[in-house]
Structure 1
């Protein structure tokens, strides 16, 4: 993500208090180390930081007042005063129990009940963070492109490949021509045949997976509309994306690889795209869905003896 794009966040409506932590997780990888210290401080102790002046927060984080202000603007607030108000709101939510603190990582000796509770909370937080940080303008534009596409190619490898398959099969069920490609060679040879009016979607949590960036680049250069679903909007994949849909940054631990959390957020974005396309093409999507349900029901119905 370029500096111009980063600064454009300041022109958007300030995020709600509950969205602050999600914004920090999304943007922290692209910040300077000094700005990361400020962002981590406000996300980790909103009540304490809300009580500090800009000078006080700069001293606490070992940075400068200018760095604090730049961090506030990058997070979407016009100035530090607006960030302090958001921090106070977030602290109030946490104290009321409506915005609970992040639970501890899963330990090797955790009882299974604790594992279930921690995973459930982490899944909920991942979905909430993704929803809070999703640019609905970009989402709407992506839905518009998919709804009118002659053909859709979806690229993903590993865990993201499973999500690519999910998006393709959803679109197929409402009558759209869509194919998922996890083989990088097939992905590129198919991308070469895309043209204006077609859509290519790359799914990569890191934003740096060459096997999905290369076919997206080829599709982009051949005139197709391109979409990136990624946790790193500043990553290389965004160079070739007309529309970028940002997922939450996965919190990785020893017993919970990042792929597990990232897949949850990616699937939410896929569902948003699918529902949006189904809404826009309802007259053809509804009969197609009914036909697929009927076909599956008929396949699984008991058959009499011949």
Structure 2
């Protein structure tokens, strides 16, 4: 995972002063390359000690390693996506529609790349194998995460899997509580802090279901409530209504899950997809 995505995923660990540091770097990651640690502390209205704590919260030894990591990351991204875009920068009031579209498109491509390249494929294989033999698959998320859950439900249901998408927390909790043997419960939350989704996985786990978290925070309450965790990575813009980039990252995991399940029963899946296509697109 890149350092900018690590900053995004670590937001809940930051003190108010450290959040100001994160905000300044988010708006312009190049500021770290241009400023000394003292200059950055002044720009963030904080102390040098806070900058050091910020770096260590990210798992870095100090400011020098932060500068080196960001310089490497920004150089690699500029080579891949072009130097004309300040990657990681917030959408500005002065941006044109074309500039905004370029920024969000680049961040979405980065999210897919970072998510897939960082996936725990051993865990992914375990989840795919479990889905293949599951008697019941329960899917739940709130807000934009529900759209991601809905996408996986659509894909699994279309190839004949016994998948259920819950519409509200009480329905999800009830289904989780009454999980029969062979149930898999998947919870979706980018932050990993959505209380209703966390409770859903906790109930399902207590009922004996295999619980899976699809989240952007590996040490979040949702991840802790899960037997298996699939982690997405995304740098989200503050100028958004619900999830944008993080939704794309989660959908990449959904596609990997579906392809894994489909591949295990290749001929059966192709046949099911053709039959459902024929019935929904009659000649």
Calculate the TM-score normalised by the size of structure 2. Answer: 0.77
CA distance in 1, matches of 2:66, 2:197: 37
Tell me how many residue pairs correspond in the alignment: 277
Q: What's the counterpart of residue 105 of structure 1?
A: 91
Specify every segment of 5 or more residues in structure 1 that has no aligned partner in the other structure, as ranges: 1-14
Which of 281, 284, 288 is the aligned partner of 2:268?
A: 288
Q: What's the counterpart of residue 259 of structure 1?
A: 243
CA distance in 2, matches of 1:63, 1:163: 41
Which of 172, 179, 195 is the aligned partner of 2:157?
A: 172
Which of 12, 23, 28 is the aligned partner of 2:6?
A: 23
Specify every segment of 5 or more residues in structure 2 that has no aligned partner in the other structure, as ranges: none
Residue deviations 1:63-101 (CA, integer Å, cap 9, x gap): 344x54543343244555543322231343366554731
Q: Does 1:71 align with 2:54?
A: yes
Which stretch of structure 1 is more off in the superposition, 179-188 or 47-56? Answer: 47-56
Which of 125, 131, 148 is the aligned partner of 1:163?
A: 148
Calculate the TM-score normalised by the size of structure 1. Answer: 0.72
Q: Tell me, what secondary structure is at the counterpart of 1:85?
A: helix
Q: 1:52 to 1:155 in 2, by over 3 A?
A: same
CA distance in 1, matches of 2:37, 2:100: 40
CA distance in 2, matches of 1:172, 1:127: 24
How far the C-alpha of 1:257 sits from its partner, in A, is 0.7
- For the 8 Å contact 1:23–1:133, the answer to whether it is kept is no
CA distance in 1, matches of 2:25, 2:122: 27
Which stretch of structure 1 is more off in the superposition, 40-49 or 174-183? Answer: 40-49
CA distance in 2, matches of 1:41, 1:267: 29
Which of 237, 253, 256 is the aligned partner of 1:269?
A: 253
CA distance in 2, matches of 1:76, 1:109: 33
Q: 1:54 to 1:119 in 2, by over 3 A?
A: closer
Which of 246, 250, 256 is the aligned partner of 2:236?
A: 250
- For the 8 Å contact 2:107–2:235, the answer to whether it is kept is no
Which stretch of structure 1 is more off in the superposition, 48-57 or 241-250? Answer: 48-57
- For the 8 Å contact 2:144–2:243, the answer to whether it is kept is yes
Which stretch of structure 1 is more off in the superposition, 179-188 or 43-52? Answer: 43-52
Alignment of 1:1-306 (within 5 A): 15=1, 19-40=2-23, 46-50=29-33, 61=44, 62-65=46-49, 67-77=50-60, 80-93=63-76, 96=79, 98=82, 100-102=85-87, 105=91, 113=98, 116-128=101-113, 130-131=115-116, 134-136=119-121, 138-194=123-179, 197-233=182-218, 235-247=220-232, 248=234, 250-253=236-239, 256-279=240-263, 282=264, 285-299=265-279, 300-302=281-283
- For the 8 Å contact 1:173–1:288, the answer to whether it is kept is no
Residue deviations 1:236-268 (CA, integer Å, cap 9, x gap): 433422233333253231xx3133444322211
How far the C-alpha of 1:56 sits from its partner, in A, is 6.8
